[in-house]
Structure 1
Amino acid sequence: MANTPYPESYYAASANAVPPRPALQDDVETDVCVIGAGYTGLSSALFLLENGFKVTVLEAARVGFGASGRNGGQIVNSYSRDIDVIERTVGPKQAQLLGQMAFEGGRIIRERVAKYNIQCDLKDGGVFAAMTAKQMGHLESQKRLWERFGHTQLELMDQRRIREVVACDQYVGGMLDMSGGHIHPLNLALGEAAAVESLGGTIYEQSPAVRIERGANPVVHTPQGKVRAKFIIVAGNAYLGNLVPELAAKSMPCGTQVITTEPLGEELAKTLLPQDYCVEDCNYLLDYYRLSGDKRLIFGGGVVYGARDPANIEAIIRPKMLKAFPQLKDVKIDFAWTGNFLLTLSRLPQVGRLGDNIYYSQGCSGHGVTYTHLAGKVLAEALRGQAERFDAFADLPHYPFPGGQMLRTPFAALGAWYYGLRDKFGM
């Protein structure tokens, strides 16, 4: 049987020690079968277990193998399309409910870390960095928008103020969100998995779902076993493949690249990011970075449509890092990797139900660390018969990519090229 290891990332190399979990080699029965042991699946499992459900989680590789264990580790509020876009799309009533949920995911993460004593280097504070006056104007509007929905831990920063928190001369200003922050993402997933098991849940690794037998009592088949359940939650996101064809048609896996330097030492690290906040710029094709617990710089950016692995990740990302921090020109890169996220045409998450008993959430569109934790709670509520918040997401309109799966990658890449030009020329 195939054994899929973690990618050679900094997160895998520095993960808390956890023994591998067994593969499913039997037939089991459960209340809820969760497909995918990333944040969406683990969050769903935790909320369900806390409410008395029997839960079995199937993972094709290892816990947190996909985006949950490879991302930039930044706690960023709201969605990939902000609440004002949602309001224009669906109207004020539905937007009000979605807006109230836009800042909940970060609170859930902090509650989980505290309740289950998860060691994941949690730090508070996230910076949105503006490179142009137009981007600064957008941040001013965003602050007013977020405050309208009750989110008040925000500070606008002028050029002098942002230099106090980021040693980079590219920025004209920014916005600090103290409810943002950063974590070691794989250790967060591993801690949540341990919490699932502490409540009686079962997680099988190296157990890909290969077929779903739909019906009144659906069955999920793996290469060596099967799970019969009352409900199924599909939480594979960019790593789901074609298991559920109707979900694959409305989404596209994309890759983002991350590098990690050698340890910088306390003194150099503090000159780069004195308050240890994480940072993302305001470009459409944005760069993001932060310090790790052992004072390395983790720097990510770029998008590869169709989720191919670039031949030389360092060659793509290192120049971006040096543009922000030229003082790191002699610093060695210890790790470079790609992680896939799932893009939707609207850049809003897709939530819904297939038949009466198969639920799903997917398509965070690069904004998943907080949203996936909210999604787990919303899915668990729906299985308990409380569907108002689930329906607010499920009613969002979604469309297939133009030209179907064959043309979705070139169309998306063309759009990214256009927005990349806008970023470059400050349009």
Structure 2
Amino acid sequence: MLEGRYLGFGGTGRNGGQIMAGIGHDLEKIRKDVGEDGLRRIFEISDMGADIIKDRIRKYDIDADFQHGYGYMGFNARQAKTLRAWEKEFKSLGSRHEIRYLEGADVRQIIGTDAYHCGLLHMGGGHVHSLNLLLGEARALASHGAQIFEYSPALEVRYGDRITVRTGKGSVRAAKLLWACDSFLNRLEPELHRTTINTYAFQLMTEPLSEELIRRISPIRGAYSDIRPIIDYYRVTNENRLLFGAATPFVEHIPLDLKAWNRRLMLKIFPYLADVKIDLAWGGPMACSPNLFPQIGTLPGRPNAFFVQGYSGFGVTPSHIICKVLAEGMHEGSDRYELIRSVRRIRVVGKDHFRPVLLTAGKTWHQISGYWNGRR
């Protein structure tokens, strides 16, 4: 494995660590590609991520602070209808965990705010220290004989029956290659570059809070997100801090003051945190696909050159599902792999010159369409 910087430099080391159900933002966007039966099969595997993560943490003794408890939050009656439908869908998967819809004053059972009209508690979800998870999984990978080379960016790739990847310090030859660069591809493979576009997400971390304040914020010590097209997401960490993240909802830009920008959003949900100090704020790119669904497959005419990319901001949990399916495809193939690779990749025209404009238009349309599908 060749890592351009160091393990955790990318999205996995700097995201919110939310353990959510599902793959992609809206499976309806891929209905035409996979059909009714395919959509049902993808939905059936979409709840596997949390169990895969827990199994790996247990098997390899990874100190990743896994905590059960997730709240999907809604602001109005339209979103309430959506959450009630989600409750039925989640329960139809036969989860052994508590799944419960809440409305009005009952919402206070899971979160300490008056900002929401309704919520859906899913105790099968939760949150994890994603950097520690990544590092633990890397150690597990090495224990199986894999070699990991940090600070080894690929400079050139030569395809053939055996593929050669050249770095600044040497080269690697292999029968198969997996491109797993996501938002850090840096145009090295044009075929992959043209079907995603980078946007940014931003997080903050408060100072350590009192146990009393933590219980007020989150009686379940859980993770949360609303269900708008572009979400706020947050969780209580193991150190009693609040981690709060978001992305710009309409106009694509990088705020000049990340602490102030994210703090303003946090106070809309938790106004009683006005005097709390913000210790850290950071951000980073994430590769989005036009249909907001992950992309896997092989490069055209190159059956031994595989790829995975385009998690569109939902990567921690779905990546464990998608990459399990991808591994099946790289090994001997599987029906699940053929199904997910059949989701078409759409070219993002003009992304190199008009990225902010395209993202602003896309975010605006995404928000408007939320009124029609019960997400706004």
With structure 2 as the length reference, what TM-score do the two structures score?
0.93
**CA displacement, residues 240-283 of structure 1 (integer Å, 9 cap, x when unaligned):** 21111111101011110000000012111111101101010111
Q: 1:156 aligns with which of 101, 120, 123?
A: 101
Task: Name 2:44's counterpart in structure 1.
Answer: 100
Q: State the secondary structure of the residue aligned to 1:204.
A: coil
Confirm or deny that 1:382 pairs with 2:329: yes
Distance in 2 (CA, whole Å) between partners of 1:372 and 1:161 is 33
Q: Is the 8 A contact 2:197 2:351 kept in 1?
A: no
Which residue identity does 1:91 align to in structure 2?
A: G
Match of 1:140 in 2: 84
Corresponding residue for 1:111? 55
Q: CA deviation at 1:74?
A: 0.3
Aligned to 2:227: 282
Match of 1:12 in 2: none
Alignment check: 8 A CA contact 2:250 2:364 kept: no
Query: 2:22 — aligned with what?
Result: 78
Distance (whole Å) between structure 2 residues aligned to residue 351 and residue 246 of structure 1: 13
CA shift at 1:417, angstroms?
3.3
Residue of 283, 286, 299 corresponding to 2:244: 299
**Aligned mates of 2:211, 2:181 — CA distance in 1:** 38
Query: 1:269·1:295 contact (CA, 8 Å) conserved in 2?
Result: yes
Structure 1 residue 357 corresponds to structure 2 residue 304: yes
What residue is the counterpart of 2:271 in the other structure? 326
Contact 1:284 1:419 in 2 (8 A): yes
**Contact persistence 2:252–2:356 (CA under 8 A):** no
Conserved? CA contact 1:255–1:306, under 8 Å: no
Alignment of 1:161-172 (within 5 A): 161-172=106-117
1:288 CA displacement: 0.7
Corresponding position of 1:3: none
- State the Cα distance separating 1:186 from its structure 2 match: 0.5
Per-residue CA deviations over 1:37-76 (Å, capped at 9, x if unaligned) read: xxxxxxxxxxxxxxxxxxxx11111111100011111011
Query: 1:412 deviation in Å?
Result: 2.1
Q: CA deviation at 1:323?
A: 0.9
Q: In the TM superposition, what is the alpha-carbon distance from 1:306 to its structure 2 partner?
A: 11
Alpha-carbon shift at residue 419 of structure 1 (Å): 4.7
Correspondence for 1:225: 170
Letter in 2 for 1:363: G
CA deviation map 1:322-360 (0-9, x unaligned):
111111111111000002211011111111102121111
For residue 343 of structure 2, the aligned residue among 389, 396, 403 is 396
| Change over 3 Å in CA distance of 1:319–1:421 after alignment to 2 | farther
Distance of aligned partners of 1:236 and 1:381 in 2 relative to their CA distance in 1, 3 Å threshold: same
Closer/same/farther in 2, CA of residues 64 and 305 from structure 1, 3 Å limit:
farther
Matching residue of 1:127 = 71
Q: Does residue 195 of structure 2 align to residue 195 of structure 1? A: no
Equivalent residues of 1:254, 1:303 under 8 A apart: no
* Cα deviation digits, residues 64-115 of structure 1 (max 9, x gap): 1100011111011112233444335531122122122211121111111000
Unaligned runs of 5+ in 2: none
- Corresponding pairs, count: 370
Q: Which amino acid aligns with 1:156?
A: Y
Residue in structure 1 matching 2:5, options 49, 61, 64: 61
Aligned to 1:91: 35
- Aligned 1:24-63 pairs, distance under 5 A: 57-63=1-7
Contact 2:26 2:292 (8 Å CA) reproduced: no
Instruction: Report the alpha carbon displacement of residue 143 of structure 1 after superposing the two structures with TM.
Output: 2.4
| Residues 249 and 405, structure 1, Cα contact 8 Å, conserved in 2 | no
Q: For residues 360-383 of structure 1, what are the alpha-carbon distances to aligned partners after superposition, in whole Å with 9 as ceiling and x for unaligned?
A: 111011111111111221121112
Residues 1:82 and 1:304: Cα distance change in structure 2 (over 3 Å): closer
CA contact (8 A) 2:70 2:123 kept: yes
The Cα of 1:301 is off from its aligned counterpart by: 0.5
Counterpart AA for 2:173: R
Q: Displacement, 1:152?
A: 6.4
In 1: Cα distance, 2:197 partner to 2:131 partner? 23
C-alpha separation between the residues in 2 aligned to 1:305 and 1:209?
35
CA separation of 1:308 and 1:359: change in aligned 2, threshold 3 A:
farther
Is residue 2:271 matched to residue 1:337?
Answer: no
Query: 1: distance between equivalents of 2:185 and 2:61?
Result: 30
Separation in 2 of the partners of 1:244 and 1:77? 31
Deviation at 1:304, TM superposition (A): 8.4
Q: Is the 8 A contact 1:344 1:365 kept in 2?
A: yes
> In structure 2, what residue type is equivalent to 1:357?
N
Given residue 114 of structure 1, which amino acid in structure 2 is its aligned partner?
R
Is contact 1:168-1:324 (8 Å) kept? Answer: yes
More displaced stretch, 132-141 vs 410-419 = 410-419
Structure 1 Cα separation of the partners of residues 245 and 223 of structure 2: 12
- Residue deviations 1:373-418 (CA, integer Å, cap 9, x gap): 1122112111221232111111012211244532343122123235
TM-score normalized by the length of structure 1: 0.82
Which amino acid in structure 2 is aligned with residue 364 of structure 1? Y
Whether contact under 8 Å (1:106, 1:370) holds in the other structure is yes
**One-letter code of the match for 2:75?**
M
How far apart in 2 are the matches of 1:401 and 1:348?
14
Deviations 1:192-215 (A, max 9, x none): 111111222111111111211111
Q: Is the 8 A contact 2:14 2:284 kept in 1?
A: yes
Aligned with 2:215: secondary structure?
A: helix
For the structure 1 residues 422 and 382, does the alpha-carbon distance in structure 2 shift closer, same or farther, using more than 3 Å as the test? Answer: closer
Distance 2:251 2:341 in 1: 25
> In the TM superposition, what is the alpha-carbon distance from 1:122 to its structure 2 partner?
0.5
Which residue identity does 1:87 align to in structure 2? R
How far the C-alpha of 1:161 sits from its partner, in A, is 2.1
